[in-house]
Amino acid sequence: MKSSSKASIAAILKQYDSGQDSLISLMQDIQSAFGYLPKEALQQAGRELDIPLSKFFAVASFYNSFNLEPQGKHTISVCEGTACHVKNADNLAQMVARELELNGDEGTSTDRQFTLKKVRCLGCCSMAPVVKVNDDIHGSMTQTKTATILNQYRKDKK
Amino acid sequence: MKGSTSKRLAKLQKEGLTTLFPESTKIMVGSASCGIAAGADAVLQAITAEVKKKKMDAVVQKVGCIGLCYLEPLVDIIIPGRPRLTYGNVTPEKAKELVAAAKKGKVLEGALGKITAEPFLIEGTARDYNGTAGGVDDVPLYAELPFYRKQNRIALRNCGFIDPENITEYIAKGGYQSLASVLEKSSPGRIASDVERAGLRGRGGAGFPTGRKWKICLSARSDEKYLICNADEGDPGAYMDRSILEGDPHAVIEGMLIGGYAIGATRGFIYVRDEYPLAIERLEKALEQVREHGLVGEKILGSSFNFDITISRGAGAFVCGEETALIKSIEGDCGEPRQRPPFPAESGLWGKPTIINNVETLATVPVIAAKGAKWFSSIGTDGSKGSKVFSLVGNVNNIGLVEVPMGTTLRDIIFDIGGGIPNNRAFKAVQTGGPSGGCIPESLIDLPVDYDALTKSGSIMGSGGLIVMDEKTCMVDVAKYFLEFLESESCGKCTPCRVGVKRMREILTDICEGKAELEDLTRLEDMAGLINDSALCALGRTAPNPVLSTLKYFKDEYLAHILLKKCPAGVCKDLITFSVDKKTCIGCGACKKACPADAVTGEKKKAHKINTKKCIKCGACREVCPVSAVLT
């Protein structure tokens, strides 16, 4: 682990006392610094706050928002809430998975540019079906519109 | 009210009125998450830039959502001497035109509705816009629009009308007056009784009487008690709480303060979904403001009441909407529910008496405190008082957030307010209550929204998601959808839920894939009974509901899947084939271009064909066909 990473974990840990009460909040801070929960960061946090690594793993695997693996540069979240589902959101997710050549129906592309996630629900049901890329929510999506947006992000890379 | 307190609030109220009703032109952009998704930020930027360019004296602000979500981005404009006008589907270009017209004191055509007097619910009065200048006679009044006519906005009273990031506007509309008067004139027991007599039942879904819950907690002895606002709105297809938090966060905070006083609590927590970043941001700002004005902390408004509020961000787990799981999550652990009793009102967060109230419940409390139990209980039905917010979504024309008096029929909501089903399709069902609820068929569409009537039908009131389904929705697929959701959200602690839901989902998958036999329906029902009897928490116990209600009302569809190996709605991919209707096809080639599998052939201007061996059933062709010639 780089020394700069170690320093940023130390900065996060400064705000926390030992004990479990703020465990989720601590993990959220680590994730927002790294994009995921690096094992080394959790080990360091565990040593300093006297929390076993198994506890971190239990919490990280229980809640949907935690990632134990590095994520793609851009995260594409296809909403599969009920309103999106009845408007064929599943076809959108499958289309993105095909475009990114993923093995399953979720995951990260081999070039690490994109991570596809199915989420339920983003609470923008009036715009169903909804696709979120990073922090931007796109409403009333079709496969064509989704492909256009995907291509924009691909172009930005170049 | 003590002199100094009332003076302080009056000063803030006066300040709020200057931006609420400025002497200059006022332009408001609906900037809740859904508005922003529709492009509200670009519209706001265009307006701000144009106002600056034209050196106009105008107040430009962000407001919450007025509920007409299907017409976002929405812009409201008040030109002095004219009524308040609302414009829908506003583009940045259109926004510039609106500003240019306003600069000349003119209004553009095409407004959706007008308001001549803005209601002040808490004071019971309305404030006139002094709309003396003419020119908008052909624009309908808000109150007469089909979308609003049958609504009664209590929890949503301020959404879309005030700047959610400005506490003075909330106070100008009567905010924190209820708190001040409760602290001064009422005892904890009395306000709890008032809320009980009002007949307010929990809006999160279970419908337990709020006042009664408060009384139980009030009588529990402890050095410390807590009040938690449950803003973990997890039901897919529901966004009422998000809209309230983004549009009127102070209403929830005031409700928490009154609730905290009623139960004798000293600390409050808002447990909010991680998926709602804007709601969190606005809550954080609101909390900064109440702190600045001494509305939280010690000796609130000069009384002896001490109460502080902390935001606790969820991390994405549906089960955390269940109160004992939510408590575990605030404690920093995995959100696994535990056996009740003891109920949290006796032993909750860190073992102390704790009350958990939903966002909408809390946003309603200040109004009850101001207008009295009798006023509130005069609205609604015998067993369900007041109004309820619903997110009306799915296959319905007017998608949006509506608040109707209890007792309004589903037909009124879907057909009058919602404007019916788009694309000339037939109504099939409405799903209420999220994954714990059920699907209500057309034969029961005259049911009133009422806790007991909906439970009797095999569904539940739930938190307020109303997902409308048309003839192209497969009810078996919907049941499978909910069970997939619950299977992935089951915490895994008890076997009936962890394994039982999985087994039920497997049977439903078989049915959708045409691999099931008739006996599977009996297996589903047996399993449903077993899970309902033995699961640990409400998530598990109600998990079979989506299956039971669809089996009860749409058994024909199950039978078609099992016996005929057909999906009548044309959804289940293993049971359908895509084809082009030769007579309708105009040979435009759009489907051929869209097909990712090269399965479509055909010459320009001649009917096209789909090669079923190559077809991957992705639906891309159906989506682009301009004449709906792709059949399933």
- Residue in B263, B251, B124 with CA at minimum distance from that of residue B191: B263
Whether B15 has a pLDDT exceeding 80, the answer reads: yes
Spatial distance between the Cα atoms of B88 and B111, rounded to a whole number of angstroms: 7
Percentages helix, strand, coil for chain A (3-state, rounded to 5) are 50, 15, 40
Domain boundaries, chain A: 3-62, 74-157
- Residue in B56, B411, B5, B335 with CA at minimum distance from that of residue B171: B5
Spatial distance between the Cα atoms of B555 and B143, rounded to a whole number of angstroms: 41
Token pair of B343 as six digits: 């109920």
CB–CB of A130/A137 below 8 Å?
yes
pLDDT at B515: 98
Are B455 and B499 part of one and the same domain? no
Longest dimension (CA), chain B: 84
Spatial distance between the Cα atoms of B75 and B262, rounded to a whole number of angstroms: 39
Q: What percent of chain B is predicted at pLDDT more than 90?
A: 93
Whether B348 has a pLDDT exceeding 90, the answer reads: yes
> A interface mutation test: which of B243, B318, B334 has the most A CBs within 10 A?
B334
Are B197 and B342 part of one and the same domain? yes
pLDDT at A96: 97
Whether B131 has a pLDDT exceeding 90, the answer reads: no
Number of residues that make up chain B = 632
In a domain, B161, yes or no: no
Average per-residue pLDDT for chain B: 95
- Would you call A21 and B233 a contact, using CB atoms and an 8 Å cutoff? no
- Would you call B331 and A20 a contact, using CB atoms and an 8 Å cutoff? yes
Identify the domain boundary among B352, B375, B398. Answer: B375
- Would you call A123 and B242 a contact, using CB atoms and an 8 Å cutoff? yes
Q: Which of A81, A91, A122 sits opposite B619 (nearest CB)?
A: A91
Across the A:B interface, residue pairs with CB atoms under 8 Å apart total 153
Spatial distance between the Cα atoms of A83 and B552, rounded to a whole number of angstroms: 22
Are B616 and B585 part of one and the same domain? yes
Spatial distance between the Cα atoms of A11 and A23, rounded to a whole number of angstroms: 16
Number of residues that make up chain A = 158
Which residues in A lie closer than 8 A to residue B315 (C-beta atoms)? 24, 27-28, 59, 63-66
**Shortest CA distance from A28: residue in chain B:** B315
- Would you call B485 and A120 a contact, using CB atoms and an 8 Å cutoff? yes
In a domain, B27, yes or no: yes
Which residues in A lie closer than 8 A to residue B238 (C-beta atoms)? 121, 123, 125
Q: What is the pLDDT of residues B520-531, one digit of tens each?
A: 999 999 999 999
Q: What residues have CB less than 8 Å from A97, skipping those under 6 apart?
A: A104, A105, A106, A107, A116
**Shortest CA distance from A121: residue in chain B:** B236
Dihedral angle sign, alpha carbons of residues B171, B173, B174, B179:
negative
Q: Kindly state whether A29 is in contact with chain B, defined as any CB-CB distance less than 8 angstroms.
A: no
CA separation, residue B438 to residues B9, B286, B502, B529, B612 (Å)? 46, 37, 19, 15, 35
What is B26-47 written as a DSSP string? EEEEE-SHHHHHTTHHHHHHHH
pLDDT at B225: 98
In a domain, B160, yes or no: no
Task: Determine the residue type at B111.
Answer: A
- Would you call A127 and B37 a contact, using CB atoms and an 8 Å cutoff? yes
CB–CB of B543/B499 below 8 Å?
no
Spatial distance between the Cα atoms of A126 and B239, rounded to a whole number of angstroms: 9
Predicted confidence band of residue B2 (pLDDT cuts 50, 70, 90):
low
> B interface mutation test: which of A86, A90, A145, A150 has the most B CBs within 10 A?
A86
In a domain, B285, yes or no: yes
Place of tokens 């549009």: B247
The HSE-up count of residue B79 (CA atoms within 13 Å, CB side) is: 20
Spatial distance between the Cα atoms of B178 and B384, rounded to a whole number of angstroms: 23
Q: What is the pLDDT of residues B532-578, one digit of tens each?
A: 999 999 999 999 999 999 999 999 999 999 999 999 999 999 999 99
CB–CB of B594/B626 below 8 Å?
no
Q: Kindly state whether A58 is in contact with chain B, defined as any CB-CB distance less than 8 angstroms.
A: yes
Sheet holding B226-231, edge to edge: B308-313, B267-272, B226-231, B354-358
Note the Cα A147 to chain centre separation in Å: 20
Q: Which domain holds residue B183?
A: 177-375
Q: Kindly state whether A107 is in contact with chain B, defined as any CB-CB distance less than 8 angstroms.
A: no
The CATH number that applies at residue B54 is: 3.40.30.10
Which residues in B lie closer than 8 A to residue A149 (C-beta atoms)? none
Spatial distance between the Cα atoms of B66 and A41, rounded to a whole number of angstroms: 44
- Would you call B618 and A65 a contact, using CB atoms and an 8 Å cutoff? no
> What is the mean pLDDT of the segment spanning B255-274?
97
pLDDT at B184: 95
Spatial distance between the Cα atoms of A76 and B622, rounded to a whole number of angstroms: 24
Q: What percent of chain A is predicted at pLDDT more than 90?
A: 79
Classify B530 as helix, strand or coil. helix
Helix axes B188-198, B249-263, angle to 10 degrees: 120
Spatial distance between the Cα atoms of A137 and A130, rounded to a whole number of angstroms: 7
Q: Which of B72, B313, B331 sits opposite A28 (nearest CB)?
A: B313
- Residue in A65, A129, A127, A138 with CA at minimum distance from that of residue A93: A129
Q: Which of A20, A82, A124 sits opposite B37 (nearest CB)?
A: A124
Within 10 angstroms of residue A47's Cβ, the number of other Cβ atoms is 11
Classify A114 as helix, strand or coil. strand
Are B10 and B139 part of one and the same domain? yes
> B interface mutation test: which of A91, A125, A149 has the most B CBs within 10 A?
A125
- Would you call B316 and A64 a contact, using CB atoms and an 8 Å cutoff? yes
Which residues in B lie closer than 8 A to residue A121 (C-beta atoms)? 235-238, 275
What are B120's strand-pairing partners?
B125
Number of compact structural domains in chain B: 5
**Shortest CA distance from A146: residue in chain B:** B620
Q: What stretches of B457-606 show up as alpha helix (H) in DSSP? A: 475-489, 495, 501-512, 519-534, 538-542, 545-553, 555-563, 590-594
Spatial distance between the Cα atoms of B32 and B62, rounded to a whole number of angstroms: 9
Q: Kindly state whether A20 is in contact with chain B, defined as any CB-CB distance less than 8 angstroms.
A: yes
Note the Cα A128 to chain centre separation in Å: 21
A143: left (phi over 0), alpha (psi -120 to 50) or beta: alpha
Superfamily of domain A74-157: Glutaredoxin (3.40.30.10)
Classify B262 as helix, strand or coil. helix
Whether B1 has a pLDDT exceeding 60, the answer reads: no
Burial class for A43, CB neighbours closer than 10 Å (0-12, 13-18, 19+): middle
- Would you call B618 and A91 a contact, using CB atoms and an 8 Å cutoff? yes
Number of H helices, E strands in chain A: 7, 5
Within 10 angstroms of residue B437's Cβ, the number of other Cβ atoms is 28
Q: What is the pLDDT of residues B61-82, one digit of tens each?
A: 999 999 999 999 999 999 988 8
- Would you call B333 and A144 a contact, using CB atoms and an 8 Å cutoff? no
Q: What is the pLDDT of residues A84-115, one digit of tens each?
A: 999 999 999 999 999 999 999 999 999 999 99
Which residues in A lie closer than 8 A to residue B482 (C-beta atoms)? 82
In a domain, B164, yes or no: no
Q: What is the pLDDT of residues B375-417, one digit of tens each?
A: 999 999 999 999 999 999 999 999 999 999 999 999 999 999 9
pLDDT at B133: 60
> B interface mutation test: which of A105, A118, A126 has the most B CBs within 10 A?
A126
Token pair of A145 as six digits: 């519109």
pLDDT at B132: 61
Q: Which of B312, B315, B467 sits opposite A63 (nearest CB)?
A: B315
**Shortest CA distance from B67: residue in chain A:** A126
Whether A18 has a pLDDT exceeding 90, the answer reads: no
Within 10 angstroms of residue B199's Cβ, the number of other Cβ atoms is 23
> What is the mean pLDDT of the segment spanning B148-168?
97
Alpha-carbon torsion, ordered B352, B182, B380, A126, to 10 deg: -70
CB–CB of B154/B121 below 8 Å?
yes
- Would you call A83 and B237 a contact, using CB atoms and an 8 Å cutoff? yes
Spatial distance between the Cα atoms of B333 and B462, rounded to a whole number of angstroms: 26
- Distance between A143 CA and the closest CA of chain B, angstroms: 7
pLDDT at A4: 73
- Would you call A59 and B333 a contact, using CB atoms and an 8 Å cutoff? yes
Task: Determine the residue type at B397.
Answer: N
Which residues in A lie closer than 8 A to residue B393 (C-beta atoms)? 82-83, 125-126, 128
Spatial distance between the Cα atoms of A28 and A22, rounded to a whole number of angstroms: 10
Are B273 and B391 part of one and the same domain? no
> What is the mean pLDDT of the segment spanning A19-45?
92
Q: Kindly state whether A65 is in contact with chain B, defined as any CB-CB distance less than 8 angstroms.
A: yes
pLDDT at A1: 60
- Residue in B533, B301, A22 with CA at minimum distance from that of residue A30: A22
In a domain, B167, yes or no: no
Whether B124 has a pLDDT exceeding 90, the answer reads: no
Which residues in A lie closer than 8 A to residue B72 (C-beta atoms)? 126-127
In a domain, B268, yes or no: yes
Are B582 and B614 part of one and the same domain? yes
pLDDT at B107: 87
Classify B611 as helix, strand or coil. coil
Classify A157 as helix, strand or coil. helix
Are B479 and B466 part of one and the same domain? no
Are B359 and B405 part of one and the same domain? no
Token pair of B112 as six digits: 């959706």
Q: Kindly state whether A139 is in contact with chain B, defined as any CB-CB distance less than 8 angstroms.
A: yes
Q: Which of B275, B317, B431 sits opposite A122 (nearest CB)?
A: B275
> A interface mutation test: which of B269, B318, B430, B467 has the most A CBs within 10 A?
B467
Whether A7 has a pLDDT exceeding 90, the answer reads: no
- Distance between B452 CA and the closest CA of chain A, angstroms: 24
Spatial distance between the Cα atoms of B177 and B10, rounded to a whole number of angstroms: 10
CA angle B602, B603, B604 (to 5 degrees): 125
> What's A20's DSSP letter?
S
Q: What is the pLDDT of residues B229-261, one digit of tens each?
A: 999 999 999 999 999 999 999 999 999 999 999
What is B440-477 written as a DSSP string? EEGGGTT-B--HHHHHHTTS---SSEEEEEETTS-HHH
Are B352 and B416 part of one and the same domain? no
- Would you call A91 and B620 a contact, using CB atoms and an 8 Å cutoff? yes
CB–CB of B532/B525 below 8 Å?
no
Spatial distance between the Cα atoms of B575 and B553, rounded to a whole number of angstroms: 21
Alpha-carbon torsion, ordered A129, B40, B157, B78, to 10 deg: -140
- Would you call B400 and A126 a contact, using CB atoms and an 8 Å cutoff? yes
